[in-house]
Structures are given as C-alpha cells and as structure tokens.
Amino acid sequence: MGGHPEDSLVVLIRWLQAGRRTEETVPVAMARHRRNELEAQGAVVYWSERLVNAF
C-alpha cells in the first residue's frame, strides 16, 4: 500500500495444461516469471491481461 499505481496492478494468466483450463492472478512484477515457469512445465498460456486490483 505504498500508493503507487503499480501496487494495485495484477496480471490474469489463463493456460491450458493436460486438458485442463486454469487461471491465476499474479502481481505484475511476477507475471513474466510465472508465464515462463508455466510454459516450462508444458502449459500453453492463451491469455494474459493486466487488471486493476479492487482492494
């Protein structure tokens, strides 16, 4: 809660892995790392979008 706009930004990531669709929200700073991690595990990331966290 530092008052910076980026504090409230998260990224919604949706992916397909082993026939299952899954989604997760992560802080913007972690999003690229998480996407790379998922792809390394064989997931197909088909959607990522920045969202403003409501709280």
pTM (2 d.p.)? 0.80
Which tokens belong to 48?
A: 């990522």
What range does the domain containing 30 cover? 5-46
Please indicate, yes or no, if residue 53 is contained in any of the structural domains: no
- Name, in order, each residue with C-beta under 8 angstroms of 47's C-beta and a sequence gap of 6 or more: 12, 13, 14, 15, 23
Note whether residue 55 is domain-resident: no
> Can you tell me the distance from the alpha carbon of 52 to that of 19, in angstroms, rounded to the nearest whole number?
29
- The pLDDT tens digits along the chain (55 residues) read 455 555 679 999 999 999 999 999 999 999 999 999 999 999 999 999 999 876 5
**Structural domain tally of the chain?**
1
